[in-house]
Chain A
Amino acid sequence: MVQEGCYTGKVLRVDLTSGRISSEPLREDWARDFIGGKGLVFRYLYAELRPGTDPLSPENKVVIFPGLLAGTIVATTARTCVGTRSPLTGTILDSYVGGGFGAMLRYAGWDGILIAGRAEKPVYLFIEDERVELRDASPVWGKGIWETENWLEEQAGPGRIVDLTAGPAGENLVPFACLTSEAYRQCGRGGLGAVFGSKNLKSIVVRGSGGVRVPNMAAFLETYRGLMKSSLLTEANLWANTEGTPMIVDPANAAGLFPTRGFTQGEFDGKDGINSAAVQAALIRKRACTNCPLACGRLTRSRTGEILEGPEYETIGLGGGNCGVGDLSALIAYNRLCDNLGLDTISTGNVIGLAMTMTEEGIHDFGLRYGDIEGYLRTVEDIAYRRGIGEDLSRGARYVARKYGGEGVVLEIKGLEFPAYDPRGAFGMGLAYATSERGACHLRSFVVANESLFSTFYPDSFQGKPQMVINDQNLNSVKWTGIFCDFWAINAQDIATLFSAATGRAFTAEEVMRIGERIWNVGRLFNLREGFGRQDDMPPRALFERPLRNGKAAGKVYTRQAYEAALDEYYALRGWTREGVPTPEKLAALGLEL
């Protein structure tokens, strides 16, 4: 049993098929080598899933681990990592949610949860400290997120609970359905909602009355207060408090990489209706995740009085610019529909934008045009309920493109639709998307920040990018064992300092980075086992063939030769073969004997 600071040493195992619930010790060796969050999720998934597991079968599992620091006073670390084999991509999937779920799980006495099987009828998992039960969820099956959450609160009685809930889109097995916590926070990407749906699992509800201890509280608090001053509450992060993510809209437009009209343009003429100033004008109040002073969330009100926490930058990009919508109230309506139905706003905005482009360019008529607000809002519901054009669109952009001849215009990698940074305006970001284990993702490496968004470093070249991308991927992999939020620009040394104070074990910056690299390689091994390889680390055709029509990056495309050379360099720097397979020497150096 792991007895170090923070850990409870206990993992909850739930088999929905038999209804069996059990407690088992946290694997001490894995906790040492993989820490928490992403690390433990990847290690457990690699061990728990048989190769070739159908993502929507009872054999697929959901693995949940908060980070090492969950429940402590350290900012941003109440986050939770939820993993599975993705029904959208078939890759390993780690998806993160803010709010307070991770902290509450620790207070309830659990380091993590492993869920397998399929319940006969809709259920939810109720955890109150040692008491863990599968309860009937049929009264809320088919209900939206908010109504479900209100019902769960009533059932639980007085006292704070935190949930992780699937919406109707998840029940209907939409492969980009998300999981929601506390009304507006999501494990957004990769389809965890559908995996819950396939298991007849509506929600997980946690209430914990315990606490988290560290080896020396006074020393821990002193260390943390120092880092608050030197690292957390500094200019590098306080934008999150003053503006939140809408801050990115203007620089993204200036850099010419804002997703606009199905990724055909890089600068949106309607951006002033949905940028940070527009969001500020609709602001009601700020909202924080548990234990976070940054409070990047924004409660806003639309013209018609609808309240939302958001919209965040990604939603503004994909649900706004990419669909040609420059009206904040329409965007709030879109965001609310997605949130309540349990749809990822990024993938949803991508498939709708794609359908608009294919219609506009005469490839296939979906009856959707850029800026058609009524059609766009109707389509969100059609996707969640898989009806009308939603039947096709609900299968994701890759499916739509292949079925209707849109392979030349679609923007996805490994089946995951693009985030809101067009990589024609930041070439390194294309490499970051392509080498991400879960498909096109901006959170493994945010190289775009230095490349193009907030400073300039050869945005139209791969020069130096492979190493920059690798450094980010390794750092973020260990950052998400903490789990620190993306919005705290914390370095490896400060992570090591906090991990040491939390566990009593002496970490160094080098060791922390090695843990990150180890985790990254486990993700690679999982995907290789599922048949992924070099051929899947490729940007879509549009990046090579279709230049953007306006903005700073207009006219720029990748060449096959330059991209392949960058990928060769990336693999070589990683200690992988030309085919992208980690060498035995690299695995030995990382202490990986799976």
Chain B
Amino acid sequence: MPLKFRNALCTGCHLCELACSAHHFGEFAPARARIRATVRPQTGEAKVMACFSCPEAPCIAACPTGAISRAGPRQPLQIDPQKCNGCQACIPACPYGAMYFDRKTAQAIACDMCGGEPQCVQYCYPEAVVVA
């Protein structure tokens, strides 16, 4: 089951980003997160976005090295670090802005559902990020 976002409940705390980067990279680094919150402080509007394995998954076709795959429709993306050459072609290909680039490893990153127990969901107190 992919992630689901309930933006009206998002308080803009960015905890999802820290839970994500801590799990995947062992550090608290929002710039390395596979989930991102965008907040407009003046109105409080907030939006959270990560790869939810959309039906079309145009990133897969956009990748020139065949690094992106998934086990089936709506299954989490897998990015093969051996094949990803950091060209970033997948990033504009994603219509949701949910494919990110990690500058430290120079590779594309996307939500992998933490192997089944998404950490962002664990830390999202307002339940703006849930498993659908």
Does the CB pair A73–B43 fall under 8 Å?
Answer: no
Does the CB pair A73–B27 fall under 8 Å?
Answer: no
Does the CB pair A107–B29 fall under 8 Å?
Answer: yes
Give A146 to B41 CA distance when docked, in angstroms: 10
Contact residues of B between 94 and 122, Cβ < 8 Å to A: 103
Interface size class of A (residues with CB under 8 A): 35 or more
Interface string of B2-15 (1 = CB under 8 A from A): 00000010011111
Known: A183-B41, A288-B13, A295-B11. A72 touches B126 (CB 8 A): no
A286 surroundings in chain B (CB, below 8 A): 11, 126
Contact residues of A between 8 and 47, Cβ < 8 Å to B: none
Interface size class of B (residues with CB under 8 A): 20 to 34
Contact residues of B between 17 and 75, Cβ < 8 Å to A: 18-19, 21-22, 25-32, 38, 41-44
Q: How far is the CB of A237 from chain B (nearest CB, A)?
A: 12
Contact residues of A between 211 and 243, Cβ < 8 Å to B: 211-213, 217, 221, 233, 241
Taking the complex as formed, is A476 at the interface, i.e. its CB lies under 8 A from any CB of chain B?
A: no
Which of B12, B18, B126 has its CB near the most chain A CB atoms (within 10 A)? B12
Does the CB pair A72–B28 fall under 8 Å?
Answer: yes
Does the CB pair A209–B31 fall under 8 Å?
Answer: yes
**Interface of A (DSSP majority class):** loop
Give A72 to B26 CA distance when docked, in angstroms: 11
Known: A73-B28, A211-B27. A217 touches B22 (CB 8 A): yes
Known: A217-B27, A288-B11, A291-B18. A211 touches B32 (CB 8 A): yes
Q: How far is the CB of B37 from chain A (nearest CB, A)?
A: 9
A293 surroundings in chain B (CB, below 8 A): 13, 15, 123, 125-126
B44 surroundings in chain A (CB, below 8 A): 284-285, 287, 297, 299, 307, 309
B28 surroundings in chain A (CB, below 8 A): 71-73, 211-213
Contact residues of A between 453 and 467, Cβ < 8 Å to B: none
Q: How far is the CB of B132 from chain A (nearest CB, A)?
A: 22
Chain B interface (Cβ within 8 Å of chain A)?
A: 8, 11-15, 18-19, 21-22, 25-32, 38, 41-44, 103, 123, 125-126
A-B CB contact pairs (8 Å), 9 listed: A72-B18, A73-B28, A73-B123, A208-B31, A210-B31, A213-B27, A213-B28, A287-B44, A292-B13
